[in-house]
Amino acid sequence: MENEGEGEIQGGLPQGKARRYIATRGIPSKESFYLPAHYSPELRKFQDDGENMLRNYWSVEELINFIFPKKYQPTYNEIADKFMRELLQRHRMEGSVLSRFVRSNALSKATFYNRVLPRMKRVGLIKVERETISPEHSKRKYRPMSVSLSKTFGNYLCKIGESWLAIIDDAKSRPPKHEDEVGGEKPAHAQVQGQESAGVNEVQS
């Protein structure tokens, strides 16, 4: 099954016309994020009964589970967890160190380089950089990889969370709508009062 936004282009269109895609069901897996119910036993408690944030922190293993859920992607989860623990100790890992990590843990190169690393980079857990090097006396160029820690994942989710809290604070700073109000309409009793006031003004004039 194709994912949404990845359907085939249907038919030729006149020049200047936008191409139409047939959207299929589902979010592309590379853009999905695992969010179990906030009351799920998978999650360690993060707020009290009054919805106040607790001052505890989730571990690397707990955070990786949002990217590679253990019950759906156990292999990716295990690889990502091992790699992040190694990277947190080293701060940066160059190409040769990455190769040793893959060999020493008997990992599949295809899985590590084509599945796990790109996903971790996409969500902002890591930065992946490449430097183009042209050795002297050689026409061949190579681009060694360097992986380092990134704060983007935290900033990304903080922006989502803080924006939602700001929206709630803004909503609660204004008087609530009357229970009879629908959309922009005033409740029935307010409309009647308004009409009575208008009638009194007419009589006085």
Mean pLDDT by 10 residues, the chain (205 residues): 38 58 75 93 95 95 96 97 97 95 97 96 95 63 85 97 97 87 60 53 52
CB 149 within 8 A of CB 127: yes
Give, as one character, the DSSP assignment of residue 55: S
Give, as one character, the DSSP assignment of residue 116: I
Global pTM value: 0.71
Q: Report the pLDDT value the prediction gives residue 202, as an integer from 0 to 100.
A: 53
- Residue 21's Cα: distance from chain center in Å? 24
Structurally, what CATH architecture does the domain formed by 34-172 represent?
A: Orthogonal Bundle (1.10)
Q: Report the pLDDT value the prediction gives residue 17, as an integer from 0 to 100.
A: 61
Integer Cα distance of 123 and 30 in angstroms:
9
Q: Report the pLDDT value the prediction gives residue 4, as an integer from 0 to 100.
A: 36
For residue 205, how many other CB atoms are within 10 A of its CB? 5
Domain residue extents for the chain:
1-32, 34-172
Integer Cα distance of 147 and 117 in angstroms:
9
Q: Report the pLDDT value the prediction gives residue 188, as an integer from 0 to 100.
A: 58
